[in-house]
Structure 1
Amino acid sequence: MRKILLLAAISFCGTAVYAQNMEEPEFIGECLMLKPDHSTVLLEKHATQTRSAMNAGMVITGFGSIRSKLQIDGCCSATKVKSGDDIQFIVRAVDNNTDPMAIIKIFEFDSNKKFRRAEMASVNTFGTTKTNKLHYLAFTGKKYGESSYLITLKDKPPGEYGITVTNPNSLDEKSTIIATFSIL
C-alpha cells in the first residue's frame, strides 16, 4: 500500500512540474505565446505613436469629432494563430499579485497595408468625450511562475491584436509597448 501511495505522490509531483516547465518572459511587458506542441514564441513588440485627426465634417462645418488613436507601423503581425486553437500567453508583469484584468489589455486593431490603428478616444463639437473605446478581448488569467500570468483567450474572432501590460505600482508610465499577434 505504501508503494502505491509513494508512486501516486511521485507521479502527481511530476505532473505539477510538467504543467509549468515553460520559462517566464525575460522582461516586464513581454508576452510568450504557447504553441500546441507546448513550445513558446516571443510576440513581436512595437513602440506606439499617438495620432489625432478631425473628420471632414469638423473641417468643413465646424461640427464633427476629433479622434485619438494608437498607431503602429506594418499591416500585420508575423505571429499568427488559428481561431479554432486554444490561445494562451505567458505575460510578464511587475508581480502577479494584481488581478490580471486590471493590468493586461488585449485589444483589436483596424489594419491596412501600411499600419494598424486602435481608437482610444473621441471628442465631438458638443463636448461629449468618449474614452476607452478600444475593442477588448475577454480572457481568463492565472498566476504563473514568480511574476507572470497564464492568459487564456475566451473570444477568438479573426483580426489583428495587441497586448499591453501596465505597472500598477508606477505613477509615470513610460512609452506604451504593444506585443502583437494575428488570429486567422
Structure 2
Amino acid sequence: MAYTDFKTLAQVEKELEVNIKQASKLYVDIKPAELSSWFVETMELSYDLAININTEAARQSLIVDNVLIELKKTLPISLFIKKYFNVDASKGLTGNPDGLVCSYLDDLEIRAPVIVLVEAKNNDINPGFPQCIAEMVAAALFNDKAGIVRDTVYGVVTDGISWRFVNLKDNVATIDRHTYPFNDGRSIIAILKYFISDNEQQS
C-alpha cells in the first residue's frame, strides 16, 4: 500500500485517524507576490504549452515544477520532485509525492521539517485530496520522529490552472473549498510563501 492507494476521504479518516473538514477562502487576503523575471518569461511559454499538451506530466513539469523552483530561488528551502518518501509502510505512508518542500537546506536527502506537499493532477482535482492528506500525515509523523514539532503541515492539489489548498493541524485536515486560479502566478506564489513563513514562525 502507498499514498496512491488512498482513494477517498472516508478511507483517510478511518485508516489514518484524521478528521476532515472544509472552510472557505482561507488565503484570499494574502497580498500577491512579486515575481522574478525568470519566472515571468518562463511561464509565458510553458503555461500555454502545458495546457495544449494537456497531460498530468506536462502540467507538473511545465507549471507546478516552475512554481516550486521560483520558491527555491527566493527562499531558503529544499525542494524534492517525485522523490521516494517512506515514513511508515505499515500505514501505507510510502511513495513519491509530486512535490515536497523542506525548510532545511539540503537537496541531497529529505530532512525535517517537511512543510508543504504538492500533488499535480490532470483536470480533476478532488480525487487528489486523499493522497495529498496521506502525504501530509506522513510529513507530520516524519517531523515528529525527527523531534521537530510543527503545528501545521500544508498541502496543495492542482492541475496547474486551478489550485486548492489544505492544512493539517492536530490531526484535523481542513480543505479550503475555494478554488484559486493561477492567472499570472502572483497569488499562488504568495500563498506558498505564506506557508513557508508560517513554518519559520513556528521554529
TM superposition score normalised by structure 2: 0.26
User: In proportion to residue count, which structure has more helix?
Assistant: 2
Which of the two has higher C-alpha Rg? Answer: 1
User: In proportion to residue count, which structure has more strand?
Assistant: 1
TM superposition score normalised by structure 1: 0.27
